[in-house]
Structures are given as C-alpha cells and as structure tokens.
Chain A
Amino acid sequence: MNKKMQLKRLLFSMESLVDLGQEVSSSKELKEKMKAALYVMTGILPVPTAALFVYRSHRKYLHLLVDKGYREKSRKDIKLSILSEHIKRFKMNKPHTIRDMVETAFYRLNDGVFAKLQTKMFVPLFAKDEFVGAIALGSKLGGAPYHAGDKDILMVIAHQMAITLHNAQLFLELAKKASENKRLYKSMQRIYHDTIQAFAAAIDAKDDYTKNHSYRVASYAVAIARELGWKKNDVEGIYVAGLLHDIGKIIIDCDIINKGEKLTAPEITEIKRHPQISFDILSKVRFPWKNIDHFVRHHHERLDGKGYPDALGSTELSDGGKILALADAFDAMTTDRPYRGKMALSEAFREVIKCGGTQFDTKITNTFFNILRKELNGEAKELQILRHLQNIDISSFKALDQAAAYNGTTTESIHTNKTYVHM
C-alpha cells in the first residue's frame, strides 16, 4: 500500500472511530448498539464474520449477544464456557490470535465453537478491570492475515465496546434492583392493607349487628371521594379511615355496644368516647396518608355544631370528616341495630335529605346521590354503593328523584328539626 493510500486508510479509520462513538453513545437498545459497534469494527479491517459475547459470571459462560455474517443455522445456541482461571490469563482488550490460544484450557474447552465460528482472532473485553465479554472474529476478507496495525485498531474499539457493555450491565443491575424494590414495596403495601382490614374485621366483630360495617363505610367513602375528584392517594386514605373509624370501640364495653334497649346517660357518654379513642390510637400511627386520625375523630361531628367529640361547626370540619359522617350514618340507617331494625331504603334517602345542611354537608349528600343515580342508570363503572344495598325497590328511587329535585336548590325548605341519631 502506498503512502497516500495509507494516509487515506488512517483517515477512514479515524472517521470510523467517530462512527463508533456515535453508535455506542446512542439511545438505542444495547443489542442494536453493540451490533452497530461490531459492524464498525468489522468494517475497518474488514472482516466478514464476527460474534460478540456477553459474560454471565453466575453461569460461567459467554452468551452470544450479536453476530454478523454467519448463516442462521450455524450459530444456534452458541455459547462459550469460561472459568475465572481462564479470564485471569487474558490480556485486557488485547486481541489474541487463535494460533496463540490453541494450547490454553479455555480454547480446548470451546474448540468446537471456535471451529464453528471460524474464529481467527479472540478479543477479551474488560472495563475497569472487570471482564464483561469477548469478540470472536473470523478471517479477514479473502483470508488476508491480521497485521499489527489491525490489532491496535481492535484494541481501541474493544475498549469502547467494553465500556458500553459494562455501563449497560450496571444499568441492568440498577433496573433489576429497582424492580425488586418495587415488588417488595407492593408486597408490603398488600400486607399493610391486609392488616388494616384485619383490624376492621376485629372492630366489627365486637358488635353482633355491625358485621362488615367498617368495610361498607370505607366503600361509600371511597365512592364519594372519587366523585369529588380526590387524588388516588387521598382516596386510599379515606378508605383506610373508613375501615378504622370505629377502632375506638375496641375499648368500649361490649354490653353497651350490643345493648338492645335505650342507653342510659352514662352509657351514652361512654360510647361517645370512641371517636376520641380512635383518634388517640391512630394519631400514633405514621400512615402514608394524610389526616386519617382527624377524619376518624370527626365522623360523629355535625355541621350545626351539635356533634361530638369537639362540637365543631361546618367551616371547621374537613371534607374527609364530613364524608365519613355521611357514610357511617347511611350504613347505620340501612342495617339492623340492636336497638331498632333497618330503615327502608326510601326512608333512609329521605332521612339523608332531611339532615342535609344540619347534620350532613349538602355537597357530600348531593355527591352521594349523584353516584347512586349513576349506578342506578348503569352509568357507573362499578357499583360502589348499590352492591351493599339489598332489596332495592322502585319506591327507593322516588326518594332519590326527590333528592334530585332539591339538588342545586335551597335545602333549607326540606329541613326539619328531626335529625338522625346513631352511635
């Protein structure tokens, strides 16, 4: 080759290194990136056949990542077995001719594969002293020999490819860890929810009449919060608050809770302690959701300030507390209690309407009826309220229609002094 040609070739090789840089730093998938890099390498020399392997340390073999120039069938299930003592004998990123390798244990272990790939040159890839893979190159075009200059070029390119492989492996490890953390987090979240549900079941079990009460309250509360456009995390919070709102009842005497007759004044005072106790218990828990303890504390508060334990007024109460108040009262109306039977649904609807503005916030009751209407009209994705209500008859809907008629108008006209009381 004359000097002018040599210079041209050198310039082309330098251009090729720019091509290589562009390929390895591209946003392509690793396989695509490494294949392009292998093509750059085999274009500079030029070499018709080559294979790039990735090191799988835990399996003690080199796994074929990409290749070029082989016929489909010839490279099926190709891998190179390798032990750590073999790796120690490699010179980092330095091309080894197969002639120099025939006496090594590594070659003897894989001679069949090397023959299949017609390997003439083997380049172990190292990045930061770590073995990451290898390249097996076939003969140069037309069987021309590899020159010393070719080996220098191979070393430079091998170094770049090794770094790219190493970075990709680090990224994969990170992604694997992130995925494992996510799995653990989900598993913990499930355990957390299961534990909360177990608590709710324990609370309800104390009262013969309120089986699944907490679950229904949580379900109604979620429906209302979603309809109000609450964020997913806040909806999750109101669900948990619904499940645990009566946790304070665990220290109230069972005889009072299940008493079938009118409660005495001291008994009423005793049972009225439960929202405060619920708050005391839950305020010590570091929930990942905001204000659960406050929502629970206020589930017996009323807009007119006649509720307990704090007798707060409308402006002092949070939407979460107001939602729980309605959900809790509605479930109490529509289920049997030790001191009375359950109300007819139509009666319960009327009761909710009557108590709007005094006991319940009309924003919340209107939202509740909107959900019911959607569920009745088949417009809701899931039945969050209706599925808990049995024996729905057409007269119930009339009450609902009545509620619709008052929606958006003044509710004062339908208020009576009668309000719904439950514990």
Chain B
Amino acid sequence: MSNFSLSSKSAQDVAIMMPKGYINDMVAEHLEQTSEQLLGKGVKKIVVNFAEVQYINTIGISIFTSIVQKTLDYNGVLCFTNMKKVHRDILEMMGLIKYVKVFKDEEDALSFMNGKG
C-alpha cells in the first residue's frame, strides 16, 4: 500500500497542495495531475507545502520536474515551503530549485504571491 496522500486548499487566487508521506511511486503522480488541473483551470499561483513529505526519490523528482515545466509553460508561479534540508538539497542538486521560489512557510509564500497581484 502506498504511503502517499495529497490534500489541497486555496487562499484567494493561490492553490496550496500538501503532499504527505513518500513521493517515490506512481501514486504520487496525483500531485502532477492536480497541478495540471489547477493550471488548466487558470490558477497561476501554486504553493507546495513539504512539511509532511518524508521521502523523495527519482520518481518524485520526475513528478516535480513536470510540475515545474508545466508551471513555466502556463506562465505561473510555483513556491515550495516547509522544506527539510535533505529535500531542498536533492531538488537543488537536480536543478529544480532555480525555477521555483522557496519559502520558510505558507505565510511567507502567500505574502509573496499576494504581492504579485
């Protein structure tokens, strides 16, 4: 059984996704599909809160790669928050961090997003 779940919420025009558990198999593709649906509906500001993420492997990197690219394609803004150092290091090493804004928490990300109009 997969150890992954996803919840999401919105704050004004910002969508916040909160993945939980291991992002290491195709169950986590749900994260990619959800972000694509949001972008498709016209949501351009997306926050991913990593607080409950325990593990990310290559499959997880691939999922985030697609999310990053799609956000770029839709001219959206993607913020990552509450990242553990190990996760930030992996995403940085794989070259993803330079395409996203990283914040300490949701509050910081939302004030940045709201400042973007």
Binding site for B on A (CB under 8 A): 5, 8-9, 12, 15-16, 19-20, 32, 35-36, 39-44, 46-49, 68-69, 71, 141-142, 144
Which residue of B has the minimal Cβ distance to A32?
Answer: B26
A43/B60 in contact, CB under 8 A: yes
* Contact stretch, chosen from B7-15, B43-51, B87-95, B104-112: B87-95
Tell me if B59 is interfacial: C-beta within 8 Å of chain A.
yes
Interface of A, secondary structure class, is helix
Can you pick out 14 interface pairs between chain A and chain B where the beta carbons lie within 8 Å of each other? A8-B89, A8-B93, A12-B94, A43-B58, A43-B59, A46-B95, A47-B65, A48-B70, A49-B66, A68-B66, A69-B65, A69-B66, A71-B36, A141-B96
A5/B25 in contact, CB under 8 A: no
Complex-state Cα separation, A39 to B64, whole angstroms: 11
Given contacts A19-B24, A43-B94, A68-B66, 5 further A-B contacts (CB under 8 A): A15-B58, A19-B57, A19-B58, A43-B63, A144-B95
Complex-state Cα separation, A49 to B66, whole angstroms: 7
Residues of B within 8 A of A12 (CB): 58, 90, 93-94
Residues of A within 8 A of B75 (CB): none
A48/B69 in contact, CB under 8 A: yes
Which residue of B has the minimal Cβ distance to A138?
Answer: B69
- Kindly identify which residue among B29, B36, B70, B95 contacts A142, using a CB–CB cutoff of 8 Å: B95
Tell me if B99 is interfacial: C-beta within 8 Å of chain A.
yes
Contact with A along B24-68 (1 / 0, CB 8 A): 111001000000100000000000000000000111111101101
Residues of A within 8 A of B25 (CB): 36
With contact pairs A8-B93, A35-B26, A46-B94 given, residues A141 and B59 touching in the complex (Cβ less than 8 Å): no
Residues of A within 8 A of B94 (CB): 12, 43, 46
Complex-state Cα separation, A40 to B66, whole angstroms: 13
CB distance from A35 to the nearest CB of B (A): 6
Binding site for A on B (CB under 8 A): 24-26, 29, 36, 57-63, 65-66, 68-70, 72, 89-90, 93-96, 98-99
Residues of B within 8 A of A5 (CB): 93
- Kindly identify which residue among A8, A15, A68 contacts B62, using a CB–CB cutoff of 8 Å: A68
With contact pairs A8-B93, A35-B26, A142-B95 given, residues A48 and B58 touching in the complex (Cβ less than 8 Å): no
Complex-state Cα separation, A263 to B58, whole angstroms: 92
A42/B65 in contact, CB under 8 A: yes
Pairs of residues from A and B, 4 with the lowest C-beta to C-beta distance, nearest first: A48-B69, A43-B62, A43-B58, A43-B61
With contact pairs A12-B90, A40-B62, A69-B69 given, residues A141 and B99 touching in the complex (Cβ less than 8 Å): yes
B95/A40 in contact, CB under 8 A: no
Residues of A within 8 A of B99 (CB): 141-142
Complex-state Cα separation, A32 to B69, whole angstroms: 23
Which residue of B has the minimal Cβ distance to A46?
Answer: B65
Which residue of A has the minimal Cβ distance to B66?
Answer: A69
Complex-state Cα separation, A49 to B65, whole angstroms: 9
Complex-state Cα separation, A39 to B23, whole angstroms: 12
Residues of A within 8 A of B72 (CB): 142
B69/A39 in contact, CB under 8 A: no
Which residue of B has the minimal Cβ distance to A35?
Answer: B26
A44/B95 in contact, CB under 8 A: no
